[in-house]
Amino acid sequence: MAIGKLNLSSSPEAGHSDGIWLLVISAKRAMKRLYSIQGKWSRMLSVLTRRYFADSFAECLQIYGANVTQLKAPIGERPSLAQIEEALKAKSYKLITITHVDTSTGVLSDVKAIGELVQRVSPDTLVIVDGVCSVGCEEINFTEWGLDVVLTASQKALGVPPGLSLLLVSPRAIKIFQERKGPETSYFASWRKWLPIMQAYESRKPMYFATPPVQLIYALNTSLKQILQRPLTDRFAAHKKASKMVKDYIEKLGLKTLPTSRAESANGMTAVWVPNGVKLADLLPKIASKQVVFAGGLHKEIASISHLLIALANFSAKYFRIGHMGVSVTDAERNDLQKALDALKTGLSEVGWSQH
């Protein structure tokens, strides 16, 4: 099994050895688990709000009693470092949460710069990263960037069916957790229950708390082996190249992406505004008829239904999302991206849209 060997970084020395992997089910349970670190009434700063997933992260922690401050930025943008610095200086925060890539808008956070900022102005604040849409397609240097938790899920760039979530936790976060005095707030998602299991796993000893979804763990193992066959630097470079190709093509077609700048755009997905005069309800079926599936928009201010599965068919949204991560990017022979972009172009002309 390779679970304990996943290295998120492109520099081999900055990877797994500094953190412990925990395994649970569904990314939202991983979010909930964060609450294990501090217990009730933690003060938190949540960066990258007005995004579906950043908001749901904040909501999840609020439910467990966290006092959350959210930073605002317009759709397609992210809060500036100056805004974050100001917030960190205004109050003392136990945690800062960052949604690395917000899957609803395709906006990319500068986790490295935020990590450095936190180390400079508020070093006791734990840095928590939602890497669901970034692990496996965006570079993350866990130790160098001063991160305390990176949580992710199996279903995106790791290329495994949904159902698993993974957390990489720093020694200092584990220590804070172990010194925590408050009562347990969860049973199944308890770090206290799962840590001994992961430690037993690392030392190849059997131990039981709950039956893991072994089929997913085997799938994860296969995927990680494939991912690690090539240097991670190559993988990240391939995602950047593919992202540039998609975004250049979108611009050439005369369409606009939600993120307002390339520097703030994710490399594993692109969110695109539906052009004037076109209905997504007409366009997506045309594209689907060419065996290409794009997801409808998910952001609640610009999509009317706020649930991912429904959003896949959310025809009333004002934008749609193209995934370009994992095998579609790393296996050029599949030609997936070009096929998808061709389907978009043909679909647009079939619904009567033409570039002026």
Ligand X SMILES: Cc1ncc(COP(=O)(O)O)c(C=O)c1O
CB of 108 or CB of 337, closer to ligand X = 108
Using rule CB under 6 A, residue 132 touches ligand X = yes
Half-sphere exposure of residue 302, counting CA atoms within 13 Å on the CB side? 21
Using rule CB under 6 A, residue 166 touches ligand X = no
Of 36, 103, 170, 314, the one binding ligand X by CB under 6 A:
103
For residue 227, how many other CB atoms are within 10 A of its CB?
19
Number of residues that bind ligand X (CB under 6 A): 11
Report the distance separating Cα 97 and Cα 173, nearest Å: 14
Assign residue 93 a region (left: φ > 0; alpha: ψ between -120 and 50; beta: otherwise). beta
CB of 161 or CB of 254, closer to ligand X = 161
Using rule CB under 6 A, residue 27 touches ligand X = yes
Residues 6+ apart with CB under 8 A from 240: 267
Using rule CB under 6 A, residue 153 touches ligand X = yes
Q: What are φ and ψ of residue 177, in 5° steps?
A: -60, -45
Alpha carbon of 203 to those of 47, 197, 224, 241: distances in Å? 37, 10, 20, 39
Report the distance separating Cα 227 and Cα 7, nearest Å: 10
Minimum distance between the CB of residue 153 and ligand X, rounded to whole angstroms? 4
Using rule CB under 6 A, residue 24 touches ligand X = no
Task: Write down the residue that tokens 């709950």 correspond to.
Answer: 210
Binding mask of the shown chain, residues 261 to 300, with x at each position contacting ligand X by CB under 6 A: ----------------------------------------
CB of 215 or CB of 289, closer to ligand X = 215
Minimum distance between the CB of residue 133 and ligand X, rounded to whole angstroms? 4
Residues 6+ apart with CB under 8 A from 49: 55, 58, 70, 71, 72, 73, 79
CB of 131 or CB of 347, closer to ligand X = 131
Of 20, 32, 47, 53, the one binding ligand X by CB under 6 A:
53
Alpha carbon of 322 to those of 99, 100, 124, 197, 269: distances in Å? 19, 17, 38, 38, 6
Report the distance separating Cα 258 and Cα 311, nearest Å: 17
Minimum distance between the CB of residue 345 and ligand X, rounded to whole angstroms? 27
Minimum distance between the CB of residue 26 and ligand X, rounded to whole angstroms? 4
Stretch that binds ligand X, among 63-71, 125-133, 252-260, 336-344 (CB under 6 A): 125-133
**b vs e for 236-258, b when ≥16 Cβ sit within 10 Å of the residue's Cβ?**
bebbbebbeebbebbeebebebb
Stretch that binds ligand X, among 6-14, 109-117, 129-137, 251-259 (CB under 6 A): 129-137
Of 23, 24, 28, 270, the one binding ligand X by CB under 6 A:
28
Of 3, 10, 14, 26, the one binding ligand X by CB under 6 A:
26
Of 38, 99, 223, 314, the one binding ligand X by CB under 6 A:
99
Task: Write down the residue that tokens 């969110």 correspond to.
Answer: 271
Closest CA to 324 of 258, 247, 259: 247
CB of 164 or CB of 280, closer to ligand X = 164
CB of 47 or CB of 153, closer to ligand X = 153
Minimum distance between the CB of residue 308 and ligand X, rounded to whole angstroms? 6
Which residues are near ligand X by CB under 6 A? 26-28, 53, 99, 103, 130, 132-133, 153, 162
